[in-house]
């Protein structure tokens, strides 16, 4: 199994558990100092014993947009299926799973302004047909006798029990809202904000940006010399500025950059340049407090 060094814990821990159960091995593709996956190393790690590649589309801790299509091409060249964690990509980018040719793609409802506790798993039909159900209950069966159970057709085979009907309706509404805005418009707005914020925050003496890939989306992670990120977050909160601080469920990423945590500003379709200016002023206030 092959992942990258920038994965969220949710794309690490399940594979570690599976490795323990199946006596498999987890291999990790390194990233460079900008927070970009090293494609040369990725290609070398692929081989006849690789069973699956699991990779994030966009890093939640760095904002890096991975070259997913090229990674899928490299994996498919040696007949390895690819699962893409799209939780951080779908809110920011236009995603076409058929164009990517990924084998599986997953994202969470709450990341696209929908309800919590629901998400989407896309999979190629041939692969889903070959897989057994992972849970049992109503809807996932077509017939049951004491001798044999016949499973339902896709997608019902993997939808045991009463579905989250309310969540599905809410998620549909959220996706319709985003589609109505136009994902290209959302991407352009957020890209403009991120460029503006990168310039404004990087200009502050003592700030170190964590994750400076050429292709980024959604987030700006940084540390401030001599100040713990938790203290940054506390003071910014007092100024009415919401950021997240900590390891962002990506501890290996923090280890890669030799830091315990970062402060992370997240940008979305509703943010403005005025808010970016407020963030920059807030960081300067943090500096004054710890001067």
As annotated, the active-site residues are 249
| Nearest in space to 244 (alpha carbons), one of 255, 252, 234 | 234
For residues 52 and 15, the answer to whether their CB atoms sit within 8 Å is: no
User: What's the rounded Cα separation, in Å, for the pair 197 and 44?
Assistant: 36
35, 282 contact by CB (below 8 A): no
Instruction: Give the other-Cβ count within 10 Å of 175's Cβ.
Output: 16
State the SS3 of 84-128. EECCCCCCCCCCCHHHHCCCEEEEECHHHCCCCCCEEEEECHHHH
Torsion sign across C-alpha atoms 101, 218, 26, 107: negative
Say if CB 222 and CB 207 are below 8 A apart: yes
Q: Which ranges of 125-164 does DSSP label H, i.e. alpha helix?
A: 125-130
Find the DSSP H helices in 146-256.
165-181, 183-202, 229-238, 251-256
CA torsion sign for 231, 280, 265, 63 is negative
Spatial separation of the C-alpha atoms in residues 9 and 29, rounded to whole Å = 15
CB 224 within 8 Å of CB 233: no
Q: For tokens 């904000």, what's the residue? A: 193
């Amino acid at each position: 199994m092959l992942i990258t060094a920038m994965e969220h814990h949710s794309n690490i821990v399940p594979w570690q558990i599976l490795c323990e159960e199946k006596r498999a091995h987890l291999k990790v593709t390194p990233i460079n100092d900008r927070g970009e996956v090293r494609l040369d190393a990725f290609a070398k790690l692929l081989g006849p014993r690789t069973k699956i590649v699991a990779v994030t589309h966009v890093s939640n801790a760095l904002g890096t947009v991975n070259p997913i299509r090229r990674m899928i091409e490299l994996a498919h060249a040696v007949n390895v299926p690819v699962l893409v964690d799209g939780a951080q990509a779908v809110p920011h980018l236009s995603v076409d799973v058929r164009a990517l040719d990924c084998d599986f793609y997953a994202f969470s409802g709450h990341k696209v302004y929908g309800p919590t506790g629901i998400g989407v798993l896309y999979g190629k039909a041939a692969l889903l047909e070959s897989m057994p159900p992972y849970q049992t209950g109503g809807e996932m069966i077509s017939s049951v006798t004491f001798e044999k159970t016949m499973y339902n057709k896709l997608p019902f085979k993997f939808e045991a029990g009463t579905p989250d009907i309310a969540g599905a309706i809410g998620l549909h509404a959220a996706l319709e809202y985003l589609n109505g805005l136009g994902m290209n418009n959302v991407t352009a707005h957020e890209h403009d904000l991120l460029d503006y914020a990168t310039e404004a925050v990087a200009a502050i003496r003592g700030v170190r940006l964590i994750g400076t890939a050429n292709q980024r989306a959604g987030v700006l992670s940084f540390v401030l010399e001599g100040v713990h990120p938790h203290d940054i977050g506390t003071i910014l909160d007092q100024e009415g500025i919401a950021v997240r601080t900590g390891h962002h469920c990506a501890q290996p990423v923090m280890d890669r950059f030799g830091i315990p945590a970062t402060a992370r500003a997240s940008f979305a379709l509703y943010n403005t340049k005025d808010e970016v200016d407020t963030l920059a002023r807030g960081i300067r206030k943090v500096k004054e407090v710890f001067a």
